[in-house]
Amino acid sequence: MAGLSRILFVLCLALASPPAWSDSAPPMLLAEVYAAGIDVTQYWVSEKHDGVRAQWNGQTLRFRGGGRVPAPTWFTAGFPATPLDGELWIGRGRFDALSGTVRKLDPVDAEWRQVRYLVFELPGAAGDFSARVLQMQTIVARAAVPWLEAVEQTRVTDHSMLMKQLDAVTHAGGEGLMLHRADAPYLTGRRDALLKLKPWLDAEAVVVGHLPGKGKYRGMTGALLMEMPDGKRFRLGSGLPDTLRRRPPPLGARITYHYQQTTKKGVPRFPHYLRVRDAF
Q: Which residues are catalytic?
A: 48
| Domain contains 5 | no
User: Does 188 share its domain with 205?
Assistant: no
Q: What pLDDT is attached to residue 177?
A: 96
CA 63 to chain CA centroid, Å, is 9
The average pLDDT across 271-278 equals 85
Same domain for 253 and 177? no
> The CATH number of the domain where 259 resides is what?
2.40.50.140
* 162 and 90, same domain (yes or no): yes
Same domain, 56 and 87: yes
pLDDT, tens digit (0-9, with 9 covering 90-100), for 55-70? 999 999 999 889 999 9
Cα dihedral 49, 55, 60, 65 sign: negative
What pLDDT score does 23 carry? 56
Is residue 148 domain-shared with residue 174, that is, in the same domain? yes
Report the pLDDT value the prediction gives residue 57, as an integer from 0 to 100.
95
Residue 187 lies in a domain: yes
The answer on 141 and 259 residing in a single domain is no
More confident residue, 235 or 24: 235
Q: Are 133 and 211 contained in the same domain?
A: no
Residue 11 in domain: no
Residue 20 covered by a domain: no
Indicate if 121 and 152 belong to the same structural domain: yes
Determine the pLDDT at residue 278. Answer: 63
Domain termination site, one of 150, 169, 197: 197
Q: Residue 208: pLDDT band by 50, 70, 90 thresholds?
A: very high
Q: What is the pTM of this model?
A: 0.71
Res 233 pLDDT > 70: yes
Residue that finishes a domain, picked among 131, 163, 197:
197
Q: What is the mean pLDDT of residues 244-264?
A: 89
* Mean pLDDT computed over 68-95: 96
Q: Count up the domains in the chain and report the number.
A: 2
Closest to 182 in 3D by CA, of 38, 56, 37: 38
Does residue 158 share a domain with residue 224? no
Indicate whether 247 and 139 sit together in one domain.
no
CATH of the domain at 181: 3.30.470.30
In a domain, 1, yes or no: no
Question: Same domain for 137 and 99?
Answer: yes
Section 16-24 average pLDDT: 41
Domain that holds residue 242: 201-276
pLDDT surpasses 90 at 161 = yes
- Domain stop point among 197, 215, 243: 197
Q: Quick one: 224 and 272 in the same domain?
A: yes
pLDDT digits (tens, 9 = 90+) for 113-137: 999 999 999 999 999 999 999 999 9
pLDDT at residue 200 in the model:
79
